[in-house]
Structure 1
Amino acid sequence: MVAIRPVVELRVHGVGGASPDALLGTTAHRQVWGDRIAGFYAADSEVRGRRVEAYCWGGMTSRSSARVLWLLLFPFMLANVAGWTCSARVRRDRWMFAVHRACGRLAALAVTLNLLLIAAMAAMDVWAYQFCDQQRPDSSTGLKWVLNLPAGLEPGPRVVLGAALVLANLLVIALLADRTRSRYEDVTPVGAPVREPVRGSAAALPDGVGDPRFYDGQCTVWRLARLHLSAGVAWLALLLAWIGRDDRLDFWLVGLAGAVLVAATVLIACEAAGDRLTLPLTGAAALLLVVVAVWVWTADVIKEKTSHLQHMREAVLATFALIGVLVVARVLVMPLIVLLRRLGFRRGVADGPPVDRKWRAAPFMVAVLSVLSINAVGLGSLIAIGKSLGPVVWELEHSGDELAMFPFLPAVVPWLTLAPLAVVAVFLLAELLRCALAGRDRNTGPVVAEYTGRADADPPPEPPWDVWRRSALPNPGMSAYRREQASRWIRSIARARKTATFAADIRYLTAGTVLVALPLPALYVLGVKELPDIAENLAVGLAVMIPSAGVLLLRWGWRRPGARRWLGVLWDVGTFWPRAFHPFAPPCYAERAVPDLQRRIRWLRDNGNQVVLVGHSQGSVLAATALAQQPDTDTVLITFGSPLTSLYGWGFPAYINGDLCGRIKGEWINFSYRTDYIGGPVGCGGVDIPLPDPATSWYIAGEPLPPMRRHTGYWSDDAMWAHIDETVAKRLVDGPTPITPGPVHSPV
């Protein structure tokens, strides 16, 4: 007996999440697998003649209120993404690729140390040492009274309490990373019944995204989290020992803490070495911190308040210098390797196709951007904390009741707030100007010619609609009003097509922001600090507003699911990559989403079904990755609005390239509009099918002119779905009788 294999259309939504109702087009559905975070939903009745299921994964990035707190981890996310922005040329060179990965992890460590430094300036210097030295009257109530409780202690114990707050900040982030690791990275990859530790990280796998072990980041996150924790605790012990140093014993403590910090830094740079040292190193750093804290508490080595915490300025400058070295290490080492290649020292880049080198500085720029973001928010929070505790003076030496804050802050803050704001304004004005100029005649001419040819090829409408049908194209017989209306329609299409190519311009915004921030160290060293009072006050006020705006944004997202979906768009793009460079970044949802898709496809096929995998936008990236890791000649892949090439292939060319396309063995069709500002063609041979947008220039008199679908209109495009129906019909071949399925249930 032979039977036609039933077809199951498995839909995967894009960024921002989508409800099962919207994705399936019906409220009559049931959950067949998964949980409330991410699950598969099946429609009760067939759609377009086939069973339809939807994979809704938005709960991993936007559904829960707690996801909005990931905004606090935004700099860590940038630091992690920076490591993945590797060029294809660098990836082909074994030395340069290894150095790239090491420098990416060191730059990520710089962000962690930067956070701890700002926390130490606020908790140890401003609060514990200065504010708690001021005796509050008994009538003082509220938060200030609570914060002033340690006022009766000596300076040493107060400073240790401030260090405890810094440590608590680090531990909370580390515990959050460990908790998310158990929810995401602990998902066992498909085809791995016995989980073996992956030596190295996903970034070093030879097959990149197509490797089945790519989304197996459990060991990497565990290792990096322990090393960042060790480095952070060692740095805090070093800071305590440094500010309390007085005799030979103190320098021994400084040396030991520095040695632990150096060891942790070296192990972070080494991708697959010293795994057995991570836990002992963490224990040594913790023990050393306890010893130093007890010594500072009991030895009375901290002097009474005169201005800032003693030796704090040297510690701040030294830490900022270390952060700078870790971030610019790439710029120092990469040219040396290039020079060795030019001198003929060993083989360089392997043979391969030409590579796009338009944004070679992406890893450095994104890493610098992560440091700038944490300093803009962190230093703004520092100023806000100081001003909330009392009057502030920008002086190094001060003996009054006011809180002394470092004078470099008013000089640095403008370059972290006003300068980037000016770059953003210039960038937006330039993009608006380009968009306006896109409506000129030389751009509208091809649009008119294209739709004129398409209108001539359209079949004539049946009566009486031929009387009411009109063309949106301008022609000599039109009235002046209709001619202007038609011209605006043509110009809007030309502008939309031009705007769709602007996504790559983000590199200019990033470059401008980085360039205006690079003079910061030089300005401080050269002593160029004087600014007009109005500029200084505006910059400080803006710096204080940044954390306040962040709090309002958190509150807004916490209460409103719609707001969380908008914030979830940021995580959908930024957390696609495993945490191979910074363990405290928001978790990678693809660690679970890709295995989920692979298991569901395998289960459907094992039960006698043929699968048509349909992915929109970010869902197309998940779908393509799932099939690339598990080569399958039977599953049909349908993508539309796909950013595989337009976004991922441009920003991450070492991992999303032609090799990924070659690993997808089954039939693949990709639809795209020229007006799509996110998706586009994927560039694989015979895969792309361009669709007109708008679909036609004809419209019914009295109704609006044909609208553009751009990125979100694929789901309602009848021409696209007719093509998909035709493709599915061709795949309905005779085969063995499938297993008669009972009620659809979760596979064990």
Structure 2
Amino acid sequence: MWNVRTIELRVHGVGGASPAALLGTTRFRQVWGDRIAGFYVATDPVRGREVEAYCWGGMTSRSSSRVLWLLLFPFMLANVAGWTCSARVRRDRWAFPVHRACARLAALAVTLNLLLITAMIAMDVWAYQFCGQERDPSWLWPKRVLHVPGPTGRRVVAGALLVLANLLVIGLLARRTRSRYEDVTPVGAVGRAPARGSAAALPDGVADPRFFDGEATVRRLGRLHLCAGVAWLTLLLAYVGGFVPGHAGTALTAGAAGAAVVLAAATVLLACEAAGDRLVLPLTVAAPVPLAVVAACVWFAEPPPTVPGHLPGMGLVAVVTLALVVASVFARVLLMPLIVLVRRLGFRQAGSTWQAAPFVVAVLSLLSTNGVGLGSLIAVGKSLGAVKFLDGSLAAAGQGAGGRIAMFAALREVTPWLTLAPGAVLVLFLLVQAARWVAAGLGDRTAPVIGEYAGRAAAEPAPPPPFDTWRRSALPSENLTPACRRQTWAWVRSITRARELARFTPDIRYLLTGMAVSILVVAVLPASVRDLSRADDELAVWLAVLIPTTGVALLRWGWRHPYARRWVGVLWDVGTFWPRAFHPYAPPCYAERAVPDLQRRIRWLRDSGARVLLVGHSQGSVLAAAALAQLRDPSGTVLITFGSPLTTLYGWGFPAYIDTALFDRLKCRWLNFSYRTDYIGGPIGHRDVDVPLPDPATSWYVAGEPMPPLRRHTGYWSDEAMWESIDRAAAPAPAPASTAAPRS
């Protein structure tokens, strides 16, 4: 008889972990990968078996440059919005393509929204207004450097070049990350031929080997966003150039017409999934031509007389662009019910899933873009001069600024509410959750915990002498002193409240929905209602200005401190698991590399004759499940997960892709450990898979020492009961005895 050696492969969760922390020893060596993500092997056996660790934290939180991904937060939300559709929509052959098209159009709207704010800063506030003023000798060094005098047309073109540079930098960043993440060849995919359509359209979802093969999709969407952005900038420059006397009217009109064609074509190609891929590259080459023609016309135009106020035409461009942005986001709200009515399906309940998630997350993406962008716009204006808010008539006439930096009056009405309304919803949500948390430890809520641990304590064997003398129960009783009774009741309440807190994660949907609704309510309110008093108005505007300032401080904090980058990295670990199938400028999907890495290592270990025990904690369990679901034969692998958010977070947030169908693809032995106090992980929902663990493990403790602690989400690694169960699962079954004839 002989035994097959077992190798334990550990995968850490959010925030990253060092190899030493994951392996539990400082004696290890790297056997595969690089400094960003790699596999490390302990030189000595751990718990009687070989142990490896896959450390992938370098893709999200180890490098200081990852902090800059905070600037891409709106794009990440726009990309996540496309993945939050319900399972019912995904099963509908009409509704699902419409959902994907609407999600991509909403993502494009976020890009155009950002370009609009950038154009208002660069072309209007800086190039036209500030650089059009006479140079003041009292200006300090920064304002002296920023003041670039010259003819109006050339200043406006210079501002447009800054907008174009912003778009190109984001596009180049997406291209660079694509080569590092999406360019990894997936395991099991046939060749490198790209699939028609994005990962979201694959019939098997996460279980499809091509799911994390988004190189072609990101390249296609990136080019279309670039085309649309360049075309929009061309139309803006052509429209404001029409107010410049002496411009070449025919060439300007021809350039604007060409840009309109490019913008329309890019929008149609975005909505049509992968249809017309052969047109994307020619469209990318043709997009800069109208921009060059229009820029030349405006550059060499005859300089107009100086007119104080806004850049002529900027107000109408802002209104039209925002109207297109809102229409793109609301397209799903109008089209999806229409499909339901046409097919006479009716509105059916879908359990606890979040039906409004795609629309709500898209609105929050616009909120984050405008909250930071408009705050930055006002901050730049205040840094360049005294800001004066103009009403509609003065803004249209370009008068009334008096040599100051003019701002649209609508910014004074809307910008404060972008800060106050979501902030009020957040405060209300925290108060409600805090009230629920406090109430969980009052009244009869503690009775089930007392009964549960009393029954468990009665079943536990007594420790041998003399330890039985020092053993104490953490449960309240009448024969305790008042101080001990208060301590035991506090222990029981902490368990009850921890279990209640673990149920709060799905309630995030109410917070996000409330924020989106508050913004929509503010948008439809009349200006007279939105207008605050002067004191409140100034305070709210300054709060809006503090948003980008706080963002810069957070970037600096994360850049200088590695532990701070880990906390920022937690956001990306959850939000960037999904491929960039809807917004190409979102932070890169680390699973595009992590999942193939795990699959190749598992296959290599199995080919070398080893039995793999795949252990995943928190987000690592999601990567492990996705890796095994895509393997053709995962039966030789044992999957161990604990603190897994597969159902508690991904199940309700992304029900179309993380569901029982995916779990059924895991044709291997699977044990999922969970605590009722875990605020992130939880049970899978399969009786043969779930292994509930008590937290705390017992109500007994040694007198004079701390009472039994709560493990919550991070205490699994030190839970001896769990590891004993894992040891039993890791024990290989003996092979059958040889039936060969004995030698003589």
Alignment pair present for 1:216 and 2:213: yes
Query: Partner of 2:613 in structure 1?
Result: 612
Give how far 1:355 is off.
Answer: 4.2
Looking at structure 2, the residues matched to 86 and 732 of structure 1 have their Cα atoms a distance apart, in angstroms, of: 47
Query: Partner of 1:492 in structure 2?
Result: 494
Choose the corresponding residue for 2:186, options 185, 189, 206: 189
Query: Partner of 1:61 in structure 2?
Result: 60
Query: Partner of 2:424 in structure 1?
Result: 422
Unaligned runs of 5+ in 2: 244-248, 739-744
Indicate how the Cα distance of structure 1 residues 240 and 252 shifts in structure 2: closer, same or farther if over 3 A, else same: same
Between 398-407 and 20-29, the greater mean CA deviation after superposition: 398-407
Give how far 1:305 is off.
Answer: 2.8
Q: Determine helix, strand or coil for the equivalent of 1:3.
A: coil
Choose the corresponding residue for 2:379, options 362, 384, 409: 384
Looking at structure 1, the residues matched to 551 and 610 of structure 2 have their Cα atoms a distance apart, in angstroms, of: 48
Looking at structure 2, the residues matched to 481 and 140 of structure 1 have their Cα atoms a distance apart, in angstroms, of: 68
Query: Partner of 1:335 in structure 2?
Result: 337
Alignment pair present for 1:180 and 2:177: yes
Residues 124-203 of structure 1 mapped to structure 2, 5 A cutoff: 124-137=123-136, 140-148=139-147, 150-151=148-149, 153-192=150-189, 194-203=191-200
Q: Determine helix, strand or coil for the equivalent of 1:600.
A: helix
Q: Write out per-residue CA displacement over residues 57-94 of structure 1, whole angstroms, 9 at most, x where no aligned residue.
A: 00000000100000000000000000000100111101
Give how far 1:441 is off.
Answer: 2.8
Looking at structure 2, the residues matched to 70 and 399 of structure 1 have their Cα atoms a distance apart, in angstroms, of: 37
Indicate how the Cα distance of structure 1 residues 343 and 213 shifts in structure 2: closer, same or farther if over 3 A, else same: closer
Contact 1:675-1:710 within 8 A present in 2 as well: yes
Q: Determine helix, strand or coil for the equivalent of 2:229.
A: helix
Choose the corresponding residue for 2:694, options 688, 692, 695: 692
Looking at structure 1, the residues matched to 547 and 520 of structure 2 have their Cα atoms a distance apart, in angstroms, of: 21
Looking at structure 1, the residues matched to 645 and 64 of structure 2 have their Cα atoms a distance apart, in angstroms, of: 28
Contact 1:244-1:301 within 8 A present in 2 as well: no
Residues 238-257 of structure 1 mapped to structure 2, 5 A cutoff: 238-245=235-242, 250-257=252-259
Q: Determine helix, strand or coil for the equivalent of 1:253.
A: helix
Looking at structure 2, the residues matched to 27 and 330 of structure 1 have their Cα atoms a distance apart, in angstroms, of: 53
Residues 545-556 of structure 1 mapped to structure 2, 5 A cutoff: 545-556=546-557
Q: Write out per-residue CA displacement over residues 657-697 of structure 1, whole angstroms, 9 at most, x where no aligned residue.
A: 00111000010000000000000001124100000000000
Contact 2:86-2:353 within 8 A present in 1 as well: no
Looking at structure 2, the residues matched to 177 and 140 of structure 1 have their Cα atoms a distance apart, in angstroms, of: 38
Query: Partner of 1:315 in structure 2?
Result: 317
Contact 2:4-2:732 within 8 A present in 1 as well: no
Looking at structure 1, the residues matched to 291 and 735 of structure 2 have their Cα atoms a distance apart, in angstroms, of: 69
| RMSD of aligned Cα (Å) | 1.7
Identity %: 66
Q: TM-score normalized by structure 1?
A: 0.95
| One-letter amino acid of the counterpart of residue 681, structure 2 | G
Q: Write out per-residue CA displacement over residues 479-503 of structure 1, whole angstroms, 9 at most, x where no aligned residue.
A: 2221111111111100000110000
Query: Partner of 1:475 in structure 2?
Result: 477
Looking at structure 2, the residues matched to 735 and 204 of structure 1 have their Cα atoms a distance apart, in angstroms, of: 49
Contact 2:6-2:732 within 8 A present in 1 as well: no
| One-letter amino acid of the counterpart of residue 388, structure 2 | V
Choose the corresponding residue for 1:362, options 339, 357, 361: 357
Looking at structure 2, the residues matched to 224 and 456 of structure 1 have their Cα atoms a distance apart, in angstroms, of: 63
Contact 2:12-2:55 within 8 A present in 1 as well: yes
Residues 716-727 of structure 1 mapped to structure 2, 5 A cutoff: 716-727=718-729
Residues 48-127 of structure 1 mapped to structure 2, 5 A cutoff: 48-127=47-126
Contact 2:207-2:662 within 8 A present in 1 as well: yes
Give how far 1:274 is off.
Answer: 1.0
Q: Determine helix, strand or coil for the equivalent of 1:633.
A: helix
| One-letter amino acid of the counterpart of residue 433, structure 1 | A
Give how far 1:360 is off.
Answer: 0.5
> How many residues are matched?
725
| One-letter amino acid of the counterpart of residue 265, structure 2 | A
Give how far 1:15 is off.
Answer: 0.2
Give how far 1:197 is off.
Answer: 1.2
Q: Determine helix, strand or coil for the equivalent of 1:518.
A: helix
Q: Determine helix, strand or coil for the equivalent of 2:640.
A: strand
Q: Determine helix, strand or coil for the equivalent of 1:409.
A: helix
Q: Determine helix, strand or coil for the equivalent of 1:639.
A: strand
Unaligned runs of 5+ in 1: 737-748
Query: Partner of 1:458 in structure 2?
Result: 460
Between 390-399 and 413-422, the greater mean CA deviation after superposition: 390-399
Give how far 1:476 is off.
Answer: 2.1
Residues 11-22 of structure 1 mapped to structure 2, 5 A cutoff: 11-22=10-21
Q: Write out per-residue CA displacement over residues 105-125 of structure 1, whole angstroms, 9 at most, x where no aligned residue.
A: 011001000000000000000
Q: Determine helix, strand or coil for the equivalent of 2:692.
A: strand
Give how far 1:534 is off.
Answer: 2.0
| One-letter amino acid of the counterpart of residue 372, structure 1 | L
| One-letter amino acid of the counterpart of residue 157, structure 2 | V
Contact 2:353-2:653 within 8 A present in 1 as well: no
Looking at structure 2, the residues matched to 442 and 342 of structure 1 have their Cα atoms a distance apart, in angstroms, of: 48
Contact 2:2-2:734 within 8 A present in 1 as well: no
Give how far 1:128 is off.
Answer: 0.2
Choose the corresponding residue for 2:509, options 493, 507, 511: 507
Q: Write out per-residue CA displacement over residues 331-363 of structure 1, whole angstroms, 9 at most, x where no aligned residue.
A: 01011101111189xxx99xxxx9435410000
Q: Determine helix, strand or coil for the equivalent of 2:7.
A: strand
Looking at structure 2, the residues matched to 489 and 393 of structure 1 have their Cα atoms a distance apart, in angstroms, of: 58
Looking at structure 1, the residues matched to 695 and 687 of structure 2 have their Cα atoms a distance apart, in angstroms, of: 23
Contact 2:110-2:369 within 8 A present in 1 as well: yes
Query: Partner of 1:742 in structure 2?
Result: none
Q: TM-score normalized by structure 2?
A: 0.95
Query: Partner of 2:559 in structure 1?
Result: 558
Contact 2:642-2:673 within 8 A present in 1 as well: yes
Indicate how the Cα distance of structure 1 residues 735 and 8 shifts in structure 2: closer, same or farther if over 3 A, else same: farther
Give how far 1:142 is off.
Answer: 1.5
Give how far 1:519 is off.
Answer: 3.0
Looking at structure 2, the residues matched to 336 and 431 of structure 1 have their Cα atoms a distance apart, in angstroms, of: 37
Looking at structure 1, the residues matched to 523 and 47 of structure 2 have their Cα atoms a distance apart, in angstroms, of: 63
Q: Determine helix, strand or coil for the equivalent of 2:184.
A: coil
Looking at structure 2, the residues matched to 232 and 4 of structure 1 have their Cα atoms a distance apart, in angstroms, of: 62
Q: Determine helix, strand or coil for the equivalent of 1:612.
A: strand
Q: Determine helix, strand or coil for the equivalent of 1:32.
A: strand
Between 470-479 and 316-325, the greater mean CA deviation after superposition: 470-479
Q: Determine helix, strand or coil for the equivalent of 1:4.
A: coil
Choose the corresponding residue for 1:665, options 664, 667, 683: 667
Query: Partner of 1:703 in structure 2?
Result: 705
